[in-house]
Amino acid sequence: MTRVGIVGLGLIGGSLALRLVESGCEVCAWNHTPHPYAAARDAGIRCMGSLEELARSGPRVIVLCNPLRAMPEVLAALAPVLDHDATTLTDVGSVKGMVRRQVAEAGLSSCYVGAHPMAGNERSGFAAADARLFDHALWAVTVDSATGFPRFLSVVRLVLEQVGDRIIVIDDALHDRSAAMISHMPHVVATAMINELTAAPERCVAAAMSAGSWRDMTRVALTDPQRTRAMVVEDSRNVARLLHEMSRRLEDAAGMLERGDASDIDAFFAAGQPYRDYRSALSRPADRRGFGLDGEAVGSGEWRRILKDSALRGERIVGIDPTGYDSTGDNVTGEGSAAAGTGWRVRVERRDF
């Protein structure tokens, strides 16, 4: 992976570019304004004058780190100049189904593999970029029936080997439901909390008294509100469903408190214990194992189902290596091509929840 293209040098794109430079990649980047270019060049990033110039520089992978609202415009500019055979397209968007539809509309489906790094903070811009932002991050890599295995490998090996992170492999719909649960819906809840504080007559006293619990529960509400709005609206159906479910839970909790129903209150606070146990277990070493993808699975597309099942078991992929392993466990020759008999060894770590 000698050359990687980055579109957008904001917090995520800038941090990824810095991380890749550290790992020895040649990084070419384009940003919609040249403001970050001086600092980026000082950090070893080649800055391009246009998307067309970036595409023609011959990157093995281009990572779209631009705002989601700009995706159709960016894809339209890349489509006529991208080398569809040599360059794989991926992204870091927090919504995957919508991006894949836009990629298809631009005629770039054969080049595309979806990705979403679970990393970030409430800051923005290249000035906030930090290669350490990706320390120990998990990437959700999304595939569909048209995703080619070599394209998939280009993205996966970039993440595993150059960025040094872990991955799970799922489809777009599962990603968007899960992202709504752990990111998009919490952004709305955190925003509602600071709105409640802002509207309260005692807000000065309450703000002065706020400490760790308030800070941790509302951190994401400090994000640029337009960026949050775009993210939530683009996954609106999943977020709305979860907010209705959350509202019912909170209404039930309010009723318990008003009734003074001790048993129901106890059950409410105990119901999440499996997650507390899971979080506690994160400090302990994960179980490591491996399994094989033989040439037949790769050729037939069964690898997508096998890797999704791995994610559903709670496994995170830490390595994919070409090997002579096949489905029977016998050693065969080959370097991991899609030809029958050759395969790939997938190394995973697992934590039970």
- Per-residue pLDDT at 331 exceeds 60: no
What is the CA angle 282-308-110, rounded to 5?
125
- Residue 24 phi, psi dihedral angles, 5° rounding: 100, 5
- Please indicate, yes or no, whether the overall pTM of this predicted structure exceeds 0.85: yes
pLDDT average, residue stretch 279-304: 93
**pLDDT class of 324 with cuts at 50, 70, 90:** low
Per-residue model confidence as pLDDT tens digits over 70-126: 999 999 999 999 999 999 999 999 999 999 999 999 999 999 999 999 998 888 999
- Can you read off the two tokens belonging to residue 108? 């770039």
**pLDDT class of 323 with cuts at 50, 70, 90:** confident
Count of residues making up the chain: 353
CATH superfamily of 176-271: 6-phosphogluconate dehydrogenase C-terminal like domain (1.10.3660.10)
CATH superfamily of 3-170: NAD(P)-binding Rossmann-like Domain (3.40.50.720)
Per the CB < 8 A criterion, the answer to whether 343 and 295 are in contact is yes
Q: Where are the domains of the chain?
A: 3-170, 176-271, 287-350
